[in-house]
Amino acid sequence: MKFPFAKPFFNDDEEFSSIKEVYDSGIFVHGKKTEDFERSFKDFTGAISASSVSNCTAGLHLAHHMLSFDRKGKVICPAMTHVATANAIVLSGNTPVFVDCEIATGNIDLDLVSEIVDDSFVGMTLVHFNGSPCNMEKVMDIVNSNNLYLVEDCALAVGAKYDGKHVGLFGDYGCFSFHPAKQLCTGEGGMVISRHGTQVDLDLIKAFGVDRSFLNRSLPGQYDVTSIGFNYRMPELPAALGIEQMNKADNILSAREANYQTYLQFPELKARALIQPDGSSRYSFIMILDSNSQRIALQDILKSNEIGSSVYYPNPVSEFSAYKKLNFQKTSIDNASIIANQSIALPVGPHLSVDNINIIGNIISHFLQS
């Protein structure tokens, strides 16, 4: 593929040396790399605390598990998101209620949320769709006036800000992904940040509920289990990649911005683009086509020109077979269905230059005018 949809932005020397240090040290868990990565992510986002996890899904599950430990119930969930957003609700013993998205941005429709929320709801989760920050002022009004917990799914949103504040810092927890297609890559990996001052409980539950990490035991076997927990820790090898990725974060985000702005120079593309509000971290350039068959035709053309594309997301979550069977409550999902059936996501990552984007833009523009 000449122009892949995504490619980790690694430098042979930096990422490789960092991995080699772990290899040479023989310390693969409970090491300094995860601590350094957490510190760096905390500084980058402005969080009070950051806790590394094995992936974003693990972080989301942890977050819902902890926030609903004493009180389960309905949780507002966007219909247009990755299935992980909803799985975390179900796996923590809660009940998702699916809400449609705005057609302009793909973010959850907050007017619909206000219409359905009542005291049977214990929480809300949202996704900053494609790296576009949700309207957090409205979200916090809903959350505060209905006494809901809030989990922000920031899987595609490293670098995204609302009103100057990094996303993930508004809710109780914000969960990030470092899967290879994301802004920063650790192979698999995730981070949970919080507006709360301490993550002691989260750190405990992500590591079996054991009260003392390996490093804090004076003698082998000296620990107690004070809670029942998971094993969702991030190992040292991905953390070693994460540290190097943090050093590149600003450059990665500005390359994404330049590529996104280049697509906007093509009027046919701009006319079909989802709006990405200020502060978006430009995960991809998403357009809505006239029909599903037009999307298939464009996908074919892109494939034959070795241009990668993707679909975010191929179904409203409620329409996947497993969720259909469970038949959770939902609003109308008309907008989510349009995005699922007619949208296409184009690459903006730093593995592509502005010249590359001009080539891709010209091919698509020609297709749309034919």
Ligand X SMILES: Cc1ncc(COP(=O)(O)O)c(C=O)c1O
Q: Which is nearer to ligand X, 81 or 276 (CB)?
A: 81
What's the number of CA atoms in the CB half-sphere (13 Å) around residue 343? 28
In terms of Cβ atoms closer than 10 Å to its own Cβ (0-12, 13-18, 19+), residue 33 is: buried
Which segment (10-18, 51-59, 221-229, 271-279) binds ligand X by CB under 6 A?
Answer: 51-59
Q: Which is nearer to ligand X, 171 or 190 (CB)?
A: 190
Which segment (18-26, 65-73, 151-159, 269-277) binds ligand X by CB under 6 A?
Answer: 151-159
> CB-based contacts of 189: which residues, under 8 Å, 6+ apart?
52, 53, 54, 55, 177, 178, 179, 234, 238, 239, 241, 242
Cα–Cα distance, 223 to 194 (Å, whole number): 27
Q: Taking the complex as a whole, how short is the minimal distance between the CB of residue 82 and ligand X, in angstroms? A: 3
Site string for ligand X, 158-197 (x = CB under 6 A): -------------------x-x----------x-------
Which segment (114-122, 152-160, 217-225, 265-273) binds ligand X by CB under 6 A?
Answer: 152-160
Among 22, 47, 50, 56, binds ligand X (CB under 6 A): 56
Q: Does 262 bind ligand X (CB under 6 A)?
A: no
Report the relative pairing of strands 173-177 and 165-166 from DSSP bridges.
unpaired
Which segment (26-34, 37-45, 149-157, 248-256) binds ligand X by CB under 6 A?
Answer: 149-157
Three-state SS string across 303-343, please?
A: HHCCECCECCCCCCHHHCHHHHHHCCCECCCHHHHHHHHHE
Provide the Cα torsion 331, 332, 333, 335; round to 10°. -120
Q: Does 156 bind ligand X (CB under 6 A)?
A: yes
Judged by the rule CB under 6 A, the positions of this chain that interact with ligand X are 55-57, 81-82, 84-85, 127, 153, 155-156, 177, 179, 190
